[in-house]
Every structure is written in structure tokens, then in C-alpha cells.
Structure 1
Amino acid sequence: MEIDGNTLVFIIVILFLFFSTPGGDGVSSQYEFNQLQRLKQQFQTEHNVFLNMTHTDNFRNITGFKLSYQDTLNNPLQNATYPLPGKEYDRWLPNQNYMVMPNEVIDTINSQVWNTSNGDTSNIFPPNITSTLLGKINVVSNSKYERIRMPIPRFYEPANDFSEDIPPEGETYWSDWPSYGELHNVTFQHGEIAIQITHMNNLQNSNNYFRRNFINKENDRWKLLNLQIDFSDKTEKEKHSISSKAVYDIQRGRILSISQSSKFHSLFALPHYMSLQDEYDEDMFNDVKQLVDEFWNFTDYTDVMTMNDVQDAYNSANLKCEYMTFLQLEPWNQYTKDQIKLIDDELNWPLGRPVNLSSLPPINVVSGILYSPDCGLRLAIHDVKGKRYELKIMSIRTHLMFGIALFAAQIYLLLTQMHQTNTPSMVNKISFYCFSMINLVDGSLATLYFVAASVVPELYLPLVISAFSCFILASIFEIRYLISIYASQVNEQNVGIANLLRGNTGTYDENRPRPAFIPDEGSIGGSLYGRFFFTLIIFTFLILSSTSWPRQLRMIFEYILIFILNSYWIPQIFRNAVKGIPSRRERTRATNGGNRNQNKMPLLWSFVIGTTIIRSLPVIYVFTYSSNVFRHHKDVRFVVFLSLWLLFQISILYSQDILGSRWFLPQHTIPEGYSYFKPLSNQYILEHGGGTVQNTVDCAICMSDVPIYIEEIPETHIVDQHTYMVTPCNHVFHTSCLENWMSYKLQCPVCRSPLPPL
């Protein structure tokens, strides 16, 4: 194929437009440029205020902290305009006069959450707490506390039309809107929570890639974390999500996390809120302040801001409540600091150190509270725990290696099955839809493994090996088998069930024109591969999108999908009935009369049983093992139901093997199938001509005479009708000749008409 210059230029332009981006900061207009500059300027101003702040200073012009809870009690409609008349800015105490929380919540945190004394450092807490914690959450109060009015600067608002260049001035108080509470509030009383904790001490400097561990200079004292908190009701009809920075006090096992948006700049509040006790600690304030400042300087916080940051902050302020999260971890007093360091080293760099990782306790939150100052919400969490991330990765790696072994076993079983059905007549008895369902599952698994490999770099190698093994199984072996099955059944297209039950693949007429084109396996393979990849993409997209559906809808979809995909033997049962395979006794008796191997069951029992077990094990694991790596709920009843359903399918297949594939069909509904072994009339000899010997015809394969049984001539009745075969198009061949021919093609050697399988 030749490409001229104009076509080449057009392709280059299209590729450039497709892969290009608006810019490094995402700015696409003068209005957005001014928005981004205003945001950077605001953050830089607040950072300068933060640097001059001491532990005795109150918040000044910091977004979200201009009003205290007492200010709101004094005047619920108080605007957050700095400076407030009569407000103390040179004094700070951990109470509602200076904080955005009421004294009741502060006292609860001091007495029930962070209930260890400031000076108590005897407990030992793990420095590395990367994990995903799961537990329960309940609403303590959603209307008891006053809501603090937090304005959103109007420069965050998108442009009304393309002519605007300058963002508007001023602020908007969304809390004044009647629908504000309905939009943000938590309406359920009891739900579930997931807290994903990751450390930030391995980020790279934006200007120096090789510079690591930029923060946490006091690595045994403080850690800066990323917290992703998701909580919802049990049905997941109502979901809430919080993504924020957090500070981890290693000596006391405390975690403080505050959400951030365009109306709440929490980064500058972490030093003040890290200590709520009366004995306010100046050293603690300075340590956390230094931690935040290191993070700010190393990441070039304002320089790397983009329009996505502007839009995300604006959307979060409009759609979510702001939350302050206080967590208290359970100590690991059964270990010394040296032992914990040895455990961390072994988890990060496994070398066989003398540690017992199987008895490693989980990361356990003994108490915790979430408080929203702008929505007046208070939530409590309990039974929140989870194993270390490294242990989870090790467990997943073990499961993946076991899965690779299952794929290898499935490939072996499929190869033995393909060897069993190595002729077109045998392949014709295999259900195309049976193996299509199996192929769809394997192809989808390969795609999901490839996606997961890019998401979880720690499991890249085992995930890629699993994806490759599954892809080889689906796209090479199973597709190759499907091509053979489709090619053997291509003559059955547009043929009714009644004709198929008779063993006919169409109406045979010597005068009708023969098919102009019968596709070969090459063209069939191209069509099937295209269909395979298209179906695979659609099915994988559907599975991935279902993860964001409400739980009830997701569970209905999941149960129905698993049930359908585990009904893969049903099409084969139907195919057996169509082909009319005789019972085992009849097949055994028929072997004495010649080569009747074509009548044996198409599926090996080792393949049926092995495939069923291999494909059932993952479902059994997910639905019966409560600590499975997918965090899937336990449902033993569904596993029992699915096992009985699979057992029922296998039982029907076995009964077809023993009693015949049509035993369950009423006798009057079974039409008589086509028989290649039948007597001929004298008229046939006159029309088709005899051979050199009387009462014979020529075999077009071996070019020798074929003695035939003629009804009108008694002398020919000594001829065994099983020594010759008559095709539906009335051509006669030696039995051995035509059977060998049909092992390669199901077409008449004379007229190329399709032949029904033996």
C-alpha cells in the first residue's frame, strides 16, 4: 500500500492533535491563566503567614480558619473577613474560642481518642503503617453542632463565556444555599469505612529526580501520610470520599488528617491541631511546622499547580463536606524498636531474616473520630484494622503463582481435548458457544491482569506472567480451537433445528448451484479474532465500570454474570442432542462393524472434570474465604448453589454418554437422522452408470469399483451395506475412502456439497 505526501501530512497532524495536551499546567485561555495565578498568589501569601506563625499565634488570613466555632455561636451569619473586630490574633489555646471545633468534640478527642498523656512515650508504635484499614462508622450527630460558614473565593468559578479574561472578585458562601445541607450531609446512621494509608517519604524532587527522603528528617518521630478515606452505608447508595494529607505522631500513635479544598486550606493548620491537650507543646508545633514546610519547599507546591488543581478544589468545596480526622493506633508493645526495624527491613527487602511475618499484628485503630466544621457532622469509627500492605502484596503474589499453575493445567487439558477431536467430524460435535464462553472469561482475565500490572507496580512481574499465560490460553489455543469448530460448522448456517437433528445441513439438489465461496480457516480466523478483541474490550469495560455501581446493583450483576459464565456446559448438552450421539452400549456394539470411532463423545471426561474444578476454585475462594485479597463478602450459599448447578450440567453430560444424547427428548420429536449406509435402486445404476463390473459404481476417491446393494436384484443382497457410503448428493464411495476424506473435509469429493458429519 502506497501513501502519498498529503495523506502522510494528514496522519501526522491527526496524531499530533491526538497526543498533544493544552500545556504543562492545563491552561487553555487567558481567563484560566489568571485563575491559576490568583490561586498561586493566595497560597504563597498564606504560606508567608504560616512561616511567621508561632504556637501562641492564632490563625490570621488562612482560608477556612478565619472563623472559630465560638465566632459562629456568637453570630451564625458572621462573614469570614480578616481581620474580625475584637478577635485575638496573638493568642492561641486549644478550645472553641480559637478552633473550628466545639469544646465537646475537643474533650472527646482528648479523653476517648487521643487518650494517652503528652509525656507518655513508653508505648511502641510501628513507624511504617502503609495499609488499607476496614471497619465500621456511625453518625454521632448531624444536627447538634453549628455550621461554620466557609467562603469560596469567586476566582475559582469557571468563565461564563469566551470573552471573559479576568476572574471575578469577592467570595461566595455556599452554606447560605437551602440545598447545601442536603447536598453534603450524611443521611445514614451506620455504615462501612475504608482508610487507605500511604507514606510520602519516597517522593522525588521536581528538579532533582535522585533526591529522595526529603521530608521526615526526624524519621522516628513524625511521618507525613496520604490518607484516602471512603465511607458509605451498607448498600453503598450514599458514598463519601476524603483525600488528604495527614501527620503521624510515631511516639504516640496519633494520626491527624484534614481535608483540603478551595474553602479549606488545611495544610497550614496541621501544627496547631496536632496537639489538643492543655499542656500545649511548642516543640510539637515546631516539629510539625518544619515537616509541612519541608513538604512545601521540596514539592515546589505553588509552582507545580495546574488547572486540574483549581477545578478539583472548586468541585470538592461545592460537593463535599470538609472533615478533620483523628485516629489513635494500637501499640505494638510485644516488639522492641529493633525488632520492628528488622520486620520492616524484611518486608521491604526480603532476605530471610529471622522474623515471623505470619504472626505480625494488623494495623489497628482503637479509636477514631471524624468531624466536619462546615456541615456540623460528627462520626465515630470502630473495629477498623488491616494488615500491612507488604504482607498483602506477598499474599497476592502467592495467589497469582497458584493461578499461573491453574492456567498451565488448563492449557494441558485443552491440548489433550484438541488431540481427541483431531478430525472435522469430531470437531463438528463440539459446541462453538461452549468454548466461546470459556474464551471470553480467559480473555477478560488477561486484560484485567494487564490493567492491574500498571496500577500495582509491586506485582508487575507476577501480574504480567499471569496475563501472558492467560492471553496465550485465550488468544492462541482457544481461538485456534474455535476456528476449527467454526470451520466444521460453517455449512450449518441458516439451517433449521429439524434438519440439524436429522443430520442434514441443507437441502441437497444436484440441479441447484453450489456455494460460490466456502470460507477457509484463514478468513474465519480473521473474523473470529476481530470479534474476540471487540467483545473482550466491551466486556472488560463493563466489568471495570461495574465496580463504581451501587452495591445492590453491582451484586445483582455479579451473581447473574457468574451464573451465566458458569453455564458453559449447557451449549454442549444442546449440541450433543443435535448431533444424536448414540449410547455407550450402542457405540461399543458398533465398533465391531467397522470404524465407528466418529460416534464417541466429543469431550474428554478429564477435560470436563478438570476444567470445572479449575474454574470453580477462584469462585469458591472469593465467596468462602472471608479474608480474601479482593475484600469480597462471604456467601457460602451461592457457592453451594453454583456447585450444584455445575454438578447438574456434568450429570446431564454423563447421562448423554451412557443413555444417548437424546434420551430426554420424546421419541416422536426426534426425526430420523441421515444414514450413509442404505440400499440403492436399479434406477440409480441406470442414471449414474455402472462400473466395469456389473452392479458396481466407481469410487471417485480410489477410482475402483464399489459393489452395491440393489433392492431389485437379489444377487446383490449379499453385499454388506457398511462397505460403501451414499452421500446426500447421491454419490457413492468406499466406506474407508470417504471416512478418511471426511477426516479432513466435510465436502463431497465430487460436487463439493456439504456433508453431514458421521
Structure 2
Amino acid sequence: MPQPQDNARLVFLIILLFWVATNPDTGPGFVAAPSLTKARLVRQRHAHGILNSTHWGDFSPQVANETTGVAAGYLNLTGFRQEDGFVWQEDFGRLRNRCEEWSQHAVGLPTAPAPVWQNVTGIVRGPWVRKDASVPRYHSNYNLTEMTPGIDWVTWGGDWGRNVTGPEGKMMLRIEDDGDDDMETEALGSTGLPPTHIRAREVSATVTIDDDAGSGNSFEMRLHGVHWPRQGALLLTTTSEKFAGIFGLPHLTTRQEFFESSQALLNRTLDKVLSRKEKRSFSDPVNPWASSLDAPGETWNPSPHCEYIAYVQVYPPENDVLRVQPALAGPEGVAKAIEEIENELRFPQGAPQQGRPKLRMSAMVFSPDCAFLLETKGPPDYPQADGDHLAGWKQEFWLHSVSTWLLGFALIIFIQVQLLKLQMRETSTPSTLGRISFHTGSIMLLADGVILAGSAAWSLSATTTMLPSLVVTCAAFLSMTVGVTFLAEIYKVQEPEWRRRDRERERERQAASTTNNTPRPASTPTPPTAAPGAASTPGPNTILSTAARRAIPRPPSPPIIIPSDQDIDAEIEEVTNNPTAILPAPATAGNNTTPAAANSSITLSNIFGRFIMAGITLLFLTLAAVTWRPHFRSIYFNLLVFSYLSLWAPQIYRNIYRNCRHALSWRFVIGQSCLRLLPISYFYLVKDNFAFAQPDWTAFAVLAGWVWIQIWALVFQSVLGPRFGVPKGWMPEAWEYHPILREDNVESGGLPIGLVLAASGSESPTFERRDSNAGSGGGGDKKNTRVHVIDCAICRETLEVPIIKAGTGDPTAGGVAGVFERRKYMVTPCRHVFHSVCLEGWMRFRLQCPICREELPPL
């Protein structure tokens, strides 16, 4: 009968909930959507007409000059009107002057600017500081109904989104600059400059602002604008229903030549976009200049948020990258060197490069409605130690870094697979598989599954890094396949142990419940005294003689009933593991299961189903943690990595529980530890990592130290014993293969066979008696021990066994020296002694005594 697929129903429910959450019903409906789209296109076409008909100086919202009688000028665009209430009049002029100062500090005078990067596609990140505007503004200062008639705003009465309130934080710009082939060149007749000196092209950027000390949120928005490559200047702005930023962008420039080139460019490009949208208004309702990354949500359910205008200035590249002296080559030579580097980055030909081409920019982000200014920290206002504005890489080098890391990560996973295959070859028997912790393998398998899911999702959306991500996906899939096979073999060997443990717990629970329900008698009778000749039950670590073992009464063997499926071996194993079982009652139609079977261990398919659910939950939780506050995000990732690197802690517990000294090869333990630490160290130690993660040497030292402590714990267990220093009552009793041998145990049968004769005084040619301190000048403690030499039955070589003399203490039992002495020999429950190396090699394949073939407890 197939088992119920509870995990399948749970997976289907989670997928259904995820689909509902990611596909909200935010649309206006099938009938209303075209009309709303056309209304927005009408407003945008009107704004485009105003852009085409205005001139330089029409938008001059500065304070009117009473002497000359010049009045402030505004535009009939949403957000550019005087009645809208933005802080143009108070701070726009000061903002323009500030931008010109920063541009001159970066590239020099406008007439002869220093050569800069012509294509600024890349990622930069850096700190910023907040400065208030001259006049504060709040959401209550604006009337959205009059500003944008016909627009139904969501939560218009509450606080606006993207409102940065903290004094400082981090900013990241991902700039997408179209290639030089599509640049638009505009001649300027009024300035007299050559046409090649003034060029403009469209550019867009995704800006992420981390408000660490304020709201703690991370604001991400989309900005569109214009890039002037020769001057290295960028002007970007948001666009929404209450701010026609892209249509008024030329009037926000600082120079007339910038105004004329950007106006000519935008008139042409915006007209093409509007014409295409008007033809497909029914099938393509998305606003092409939406500032929110969730464009459909902002289109149908707009919510008020702060608008932004970004002035960005590109800095010249470093001389070590160009390998050109500006004083010797001049501006033309520097510009040619920059062009050669950019061509090599975009179209690699194998030309040698020196250094890493980095991007450096300064930015000022101004919010005209929320009335604040964000400036990047750096010279000349701040020392370079406090901040160096925005620094990062060009896209080509950033993608190269990502691809290199992915290929290195794939190589690491392949090496992990090879180590796992070697470990599987060494632990191919049930005896060796029973030593390995199932939870240690589960941690590795869960991590490989998350890597597989993440790399597969990355491959679906990647373009340049698709091949490296596919290599990682293949390596993770191979690692996960081998890991599943290994974990399944461990499960098959350890499942009877789990079932036996569950049955014992069930019997203890039933016994406890029976004891609690049974009324106590008035007086407790005295237990009967055992007969003088009766044999008492020995302890688990007592070595009995042959006569004493035969005198112990054994419980009657229950009969073996052959089941209907003829599985005799399974029935024998069941009866052997549960000797106190009662004969089963005849099966009936209504009751064919027992409580032990109902409470048995879960199947392997259910375990893997739980792994899948845990991996999916962990993946989504990690994606959600990216948007948390930096402090909580750092704590989460540190705890996640700490849990991941705790993979040897379950193996340490397994060694203690089974009294096993050595389960995994040192090659596997050390190799896996180093390989799993290596990719993590890139983000914790490398300053210029592609994820822009802040280096944290302290946290990485703690993580590496934790792995180091686990490895040394395994070393101590292998050398000193798995239960060295562990109180006896903490773990169940287990056979001690390295007992302390004393001559006092001769009468009770406590010495191994063969050592009894030597200890009792009868000489035999097979055994040799000598004092351990003879000939070597040993210390006085060694006078209490005797070393007996016998033959190992496996290798047929001599074996020296130290025995404590009768009537003396144990000077080395609790010390490290005594522990090392006892590690040389192993004593079985059947009182046979062997070399430790010989018996361990034998028990890798058989858990039987090499001499008498009795069953041996596993290591």
C-alpha cells in the first residue's frame, strides 16, 4: 500500500500561496485598463509638446530680482509649476552652483575637461550624508487632488515612501549606459565648440539608498536621464504622475549647451517611445519611465513617494591603469588610451592590461518635494579616510569578477565531490557507515541543494554569466546526487538503530504510564536474598570467564514465526532486537498495526521531502533578509554561516554516543572544512568583492575558529577516546575496547584469555613476564605495572599488554600516558585481545571476533 504523500500536498500549497503572493490583483480590469493607459499617454504627449517648445531659461524659479523686474519662471509640467509647492525657488539655484563646483573639482574647467570614461556602465557604491533644504516640506503641504486630477492615489493621506530621514548611509548605483554606437551628437551653434565635444545619449540607473540610521529601510528606484560622455556628467530623474521628471530634465541642467543637447536628444527619443506606446496601448500598458521596479503596481495603484534628481560626475581613471603620463601625452593621448581600454573590455582581443579599471563618481541626489539633499562623502568636503564618494567597477570587469568566482566555486564543488567519493569508498561496509552521523551528511546535502536551486535560478536570468552559472549548477547537481546516494546508504544502515531506539522509548513511556497508574502498596516487601551460588548479572564492561558466562541463566528464546511474505531474515532481526516481545495475536480486519510500527522512524522519502521544504524556506528567507536592516541582515547571515559551518558537531556527538574514535578520514574532514570556508572567506575578507559586502575580519575569525575547534575535538576523540572527559551518566553504556587490565580481576574473569596464566603465576613459553621499568630507568610509577607479551591472532605479531599489579593503585588510568598505552590493544567482550590497528581493520568488514566468531559491538 503506498504511503500518503503529505509532503506533496504541502509543496503544492506553498507553490499556490507563492503564486498568489507574487501575482496580486492590482490591475484595473480588462475594460478599464486601455482607457487608463490612453489617459496617461495623453498627459505624456502634452508634456512632450512643452519640452519641444521651451527654451533655455524658461524655468528659472529663483527669487525674483526686484531691481531688474525679472520674475521667476515656471513650466506647465506636473511638479514644475509654482502652485505645486516644490522647493525650486529656495534651493534650485544653490544646487546648480554646488554641482558646478564638484564638476570643476573632478575634471577641471568646462572648456578643457580632463578625459574620463566614455562608457560608464557599471556598479558603484559609497557613503552619503543628508542635508536639509532651506524650507522643510511634509506630505501635508501638498494637495495631490489639485496637483494630479483624475489620479486615485493609494494611502495619499499618510507618510510618503522613499523618505530618507537618517543622517548618513550607503548608496549604490547600477548604471546602464548604451553603447557608443548609438550616441547622438548635437552641434551647438551658440557656444562655438566643435560638435565632437558635446555629445549626449540616454542613460538609466537603478539607485539603492540604505537608510541605516533613519527608517532602517532600503529604497530602490529607477531613474532615467542623459549622459554627456566628454564631460563625464550624468543627470537622472524619477518620473511619476506627480512629477514629469524626464520631460523637464533639460531645464534641470547647469549649462546651456547641456540643455540644448539633451533637449534635442529627448525630443527625438521620447517621441519614438510615445509613438510605439500609442500603437500598442491595449497590449502594453506599462509606463516606460516608471521609477518603481514594480512597474505594473505603480501604473494601476500609484502611491505617493519622494521624487529624486541625481547629478553624477565621473572622475578620470587612475594613471596606473592608463599607463600614460598626461603631462607627456596630453589630453589626446589620455583619451586614446581610455578608448583602447574600453574597446578591449567590450570586445576582448587579448591585449595586456595593467591594474583593474575602476569607476569613481560623485553624486548629489536632490528631492524637490521632500526637501532634502544627499551628498556622497569624499574630497574636498571630507577627507578620503571618511569616504571616497562612489567607487566600483565597469560592467565588463564586474561580470568578469562574477564569472571568475563562479568558475572557482564550481571547481571547489567538484573537489568536494571527489573527496566525498573517496570517503564513500573507505566507508563502504555497514560497520563503517554506522559510525558516520546522518545529520552531518544532511547539512552538506542541504547546502548543496540550496546552491543548486540558486544557481539554476540565476542561470535562467543571466546573460553574460550564464555559462559559469550553468557550470555551478552542474557541479551542484553532481554533488547533490552523490550526497543523496551516500546519505541513503547511511540511512539503510542506521534505520534499525533508530527503530530500536523508538521502541525503547515507547516501552519506557508505557512503563512510566503504567507505574503512575498503578496504586502503591502500603508496605514494600523486602526483596529476596540471592542464593550463595546464584550468579548475578554482570555489568556491561565486565569481562566474564567461560564458566561464569555459562552459569548465567539466559532468557528463553521466543519462537520464530515465518511471515506470509517468507521474509525470515527480517523476522529473525525483529525478534533478536526485541527479545521480550510477546507472541503476536491473530490478525484481524480492523487492527493490523502495533503502536511500535505506528511510532517507527520516518521513511527516507519523507526525510528528503523535509530537506526540500527546508531548502525552499531557507532560500526565500535569505532573499527576504536582503531587504532587512543592515544590523539584522548581518546577524542573520552570520548565524546562517555559523550553522552551516557546524557540520562536524553532529559527528562529534555521534562519536560520543557510539563510543567511536574515528569515523571519517582526515583527508575528508580537513578538505571539506577548507573547501567550504574558501568561498565564504571571499565575502568576509576581500574588500573589493563583487557583492559589495563589507569585510568583517572578526566575524570570519570566529567562524574559522569554530571550524578549527570542531576539527581538534575530532582529533582529541581519535587520540584520547570519544568519551574522554565526558561524565558517565550522560551517555548510555557502551563496550570499552581499551579497558584497564588489573591482576585483581583474575578471580572474577576480568582478564583476557591468555593473560590469566601469566597473571596467576604459572609460566608458559607463549607468555613473557617483565617489569616495565627494567633497563630503561623508568619512573617509580611504572613499578606498579607489568607488560605481558602475547601473539595477536590476526597479524601473528607480538603484542605488549600492560597489567596493573594486584594491590596497587592505577597511576596512569586517568592520565594521558595511560590512555596512549591502552590505545595499543583492544579487548573484545569474549575476552580476546588484539592489536588495535588489526582489530579495527577487521571490524571494518565484520563485526565478529576473529577467534570465536561471537558478535562484537560496533565501534
Fold match by TM threshold 0.5: yes
Corresponding position: 1:640 with 2:701: yes
Structure 1 counterpart of 2:421: 415
Distance 1:301 1:323, change over 3 A: farther
Structure 2 counterpart of 1:490: 495
Corresponding position: 1:396 with 2:412: no
- Is the Cα–Cα contact under 8 Å of residues 41 and 278 in structure 2 kept in the other structure? no
In the alignment, the residues of structure 2 paired with residue 496 and residue 604 of structure 1 have an alpha-carbon distance, to the nearest angstrom, of: 28
- Is the Cα–Cα contact under 8 Å of residues 224 and 236 in structure 2 kept in the other structure? yes
Structure 2 counterpart of 1:65: 80
Structure 1 counterpart of 2:776: none
Q: Give how far 1:453 is off.
A: 2.2
- Residue 245 of structure 1 aligns to a residue in which SS? strand
Q: Give how far 1:487 is off.
A: 1.0
**1:577 aligned residue (646, 653, 656):** 656
Structure 2 counterpart of 1:195: 173
Aligned letter for 2:96? I
- Is the Cα–Cα contact under 8 Å of residues 113 and 368 in structure 1 kept in the other structure? no
Alignment of 1:244-323 (within 5 A): 244-274=223-253, 276-277=254-255, 282=260, 285-294=263-272, 296-297=274-275, 303=281, 304-306=284-286, 309=295, 311-312=297-298, 318=304, 320-323=305-308
Structure 1 counterpart of 2:123: 132
Distance 1:346 1:283, change over 3 A: closer
- Residue 268 of structure 1 aligns to a residue in which SS? coil
**1:141 aligned residue (132, 140, 160):** 132
In the alignment, the residues of structure 1 paired with residue 398 and residue 610 of structure 2 have an alpha-carbon distance, to the nearest angstrom, of: 37
Alignment of 1:80-229 (within 5 A): 101-113=91-103, 120-142=111-133, 144=135, 149=142, 151=144, 152-157=147-152, 179-180=158-159, 185-200=163-178, 216=184, 221-229=199-207
* TM-score, length-scaled by structure 2: 0.62
Corresponding position: 1:662 with 2:723: yes
- Residue 114 of structure 2 aligns to a residue in which SS? coil
Structure 2 counterpart of 1:243: 222
Corresponding position: 1:356 with 2:353: yes
Corresponding position: 1:540 with 2:619: yes
Q: Give how far 1:259 is off.
A: 1.0
In the alignment, the residues of structure 2 paired with residue 407 and residue 260 of structure 1 have an alpha-carbon distance, to the nearest angstrom, of: 46
Distance 1:452 1:513, change over 3 A: farther
- Residue 226 of structure 2 aligns to a residue in which SS? strand
In the alignment, the residues of structure 2 paired with residue 133 and residue 277 of structure 1 have an alpha-carbon distance, to the nearest angstrom, of: 26
Q: Give how far 1:372 is off.
A: 1.3
Cα shift readout 1:679-720 (whole Å, capped 9, x = no counterpart): xxxxxxxxxxxxxxxxxxxxxxxxxxxxxxxxxxxxxxxxx9
Q: Name the larger-Rg structure.
A: 2
Corresponding position: 1:324 with 2:296: no
In the alignment, the residues of structure 2 paired with residue 671 and residue 191 of structure 1 have an alpha-carbon distance, to the nearest angstrom, of: 55
In the alignment, the residues of structure 1 paired with residue 280 and residue 153 of structure 2 have an alpha-carbon distance, to the nearest angstrom, of: 20
In the alignment, the residues of structure 1 paired with residue 250 and residue 408 of structure 2 have an alpha-carbon distance, to the nearest angstrom, of: 48
Q: Give how far 1:104 is off.
A: 2.3
Q: Give how far 1:224 is off.
A: 1.0
Cα shift readout 1:546-595 (whole Å, capped 9, x = no counterpart): 1122222211211112112111111111111122236xxxxxxxxxxxxx
- Is the Cα–Cα contact under 8 Å of residues 104 and 110 in structure 2 kept in the other structure? no
In the alignment, the residues of structure 1 paired with residue 296 and residue 489 of structure 2 have an alpha-carbon distance, to the nearest angstrom, of: 57
Q: Give how far 1:502 is off.
A: 7.4
Q: Give how far 1:392 is off.
A: 1.1
Task: After superposing the two structures, state which structure 1 stretch, 509-518 or 193-202, moved more.
Answer: 509-518
- Is the Cα–Cα contact under 8 Å of residues 424 and 746 in structure 1 kept in the other structure? no
Aligned letter for 1:305? P
Distance 1:513 1:65, change over 3 A: farther
Distance 1:188 1:469, change over 3 A: same
In the alignment, the residues of structure 2 paired with residue 741 and residue 608 of structure 1 have an alpha-carbon distance, to the nearest angstrom, of: 23
Aligned letter for 1:428? G
Distance 1:222 1:485, change over 3 A: same
- Is the Cα–Cα contact under 8 Å of residues 123 and 395 in structure 2 kept in the other structure? yes
Structure 1 counterpart of 2:345: 347
- Is the Cα–Cα contact under 8 Å of residues 86 and 368 in structure 2 kept in the other structure? no
> Identity over the aligned pairs, expressed in percent?
23
Q: Give how far 1:667 is off.
A: 4.3
Distance 1:146 1:156, change over 3 A: closer
Structure 2 counterpart of 1:35: 36
Distance 1:300 1:418, change over 3 A: farther
Aligned letter for 1:270? L
Alignment of 1:543-558 (within 5 A): 543-558=622-637
Corresponding position: 1:371 with 2:397: no
In the alignment, the residues of structure 1 paired with residue 494 and residue 627 of structure 2 have an alpha-carbon distance, to the nearest angstrom, of: 41
- Is the Cα–Cα contact under 8 Å of residues 200 and 262 in structure 2 kept in the other structure? no
Structure 1 counterpart of 2:459: 453
Corresponding position: 1:52 with 2:53: yes
The root-mean-square deviation of aligned C-alpha atoms, in Å, is: 4.5
Structure 2 counterpart of 1:567: 646
Aligned letter for 1:36? T
Aligned letter for 2:441? F
In the alignment, the residues of structure 1 paired with residue 35 and residue 610 of structure 2 have an alpha-carbon distance, to the nearest angstrom, of: 49
Distance 1:556 1:618, change over 3 A: same
- Is the Cα–Cα contact under 8 Å of residues 201 and 227 in structure 2 kept in the other structure? yes
- Is the Cα–Cα contact under 8 Å of residues 364 and 385 in structure 1 kept in the other structure? yes
- Is the Cα–Cα contact under 8 Å of residues 108 and 114 in structure 2 kept in the other structure? no
Distance 1:513 1:345, change over 3 A: farther
- Residue 247 of structure 2 aligns to a residue in which SS? helix
- Is the Cα–Cα contact under 8 Å of residues 247 and 256 in structure 1 kept in the other structure? yes
- Is the Cα–Cα contact under 8 Å of residues 445 and 470 in structure 1 kept in the other structure? yes
- Residue 486 of structure 2 aligns to a residue in which SS? helix
Q: Give how far 1:268 is off.
A: 1.1
Distance 1:637 1:28, change over 3 A: same
Structure 1 counterpart of 2:569: none
Structure 1 counterpart of 2:666: 605
- Is the Cα–Cα contact under 8 Å of residues 142 and 186 in structure 1 kept in the other structure? no
Q: Give how far 1:127 is off.
A: 1.7
Aligned letter for 1:306? V
Q: Give how far 1:233 is off.
A: 3.1
- Is the Cα–Cα contact under 8 Å of residues 197 and 227 in structure 1 kept in the other structure? yes
Task: After superposing the two structures, state which structure 1 stretch, 426-435 or 296-305, moved more.
Answer: 296-305
Q: Give how far 1:462 is off.
A: 0.4
Structure 2 counterpart of 1:508: 578
Distance 1:740 1:640, change over 3 A: closer
In the alignment, the residues of structure 2 paired with residue 200 and residue 313 of structure 1 have an alpha-carbon distance, to the nearest angstrom, of: 26
In the alignment, the residues of structure 2 paired with residue 422 and residue 34 of structure 1 have an alpha-carbon distance, to the nearest angstrom, of: 70
- Is the Cα–Cα contact under 8 Å of residues 483 and 524 in structure 1 kept in the other structure? no
Equivalent residues, number: 603
Distance 1:429 1:282, change over 3 A: closer
Cα shift readout 1:292-351 (whole Å, capped 9, x = no counterpart): 445555676984333875741576651x21111112211346763333332222212222
- Is the Cα–Cα contact under 8 Å of residues 135 and 381 in structure 1 kept in the other structure? yes
Q: Give how far 1:129 is off.
A: 0.5
Aligned letter for 1:241? E
Cα shift readout 1:398-429 (whole Å, capped 9, x = no counterpart): 22222122111111111111111111121011
Cα shift readout 1:62-105 (whole Å, capped 9, x = no counterpart): 22212289x878xxxxxxxxxxxxxxxxxxxxxx66xx853222
Q: Give how far 1:110 is off.
A: 3.0
Q: Give how far 1:265 is off.
A: 1.2
Q: Give how far 1:605 is off.
A: 0.8
Q: Give how far 1:535 is off.
A: 2.4
- Is the Cα–Cα contact under 8 Å of residues 33 and 285 in structure 2 kept in the other structure? no
Task: After superposing the two structures, state which structure 1 stretch, 213-222 or 619-628, moved more.
Answer: 213-222
In the alignment, the residues of structure 2 paired with residue 740 and residue 356 of structure 1 have an alpha-carbon distance, to the nearest angstrom, of: 57
- Is the Cα–Cα contact under 8 Å of residues 38 and 278 in structure 2 kept in the other structure? no
Distance 1:310 1:449, change over 3 A: closer
Distance 1:472 1:280, change over 3 A: closer
- Residue 465 of structure 2 aligns to a residue in which SS? helix
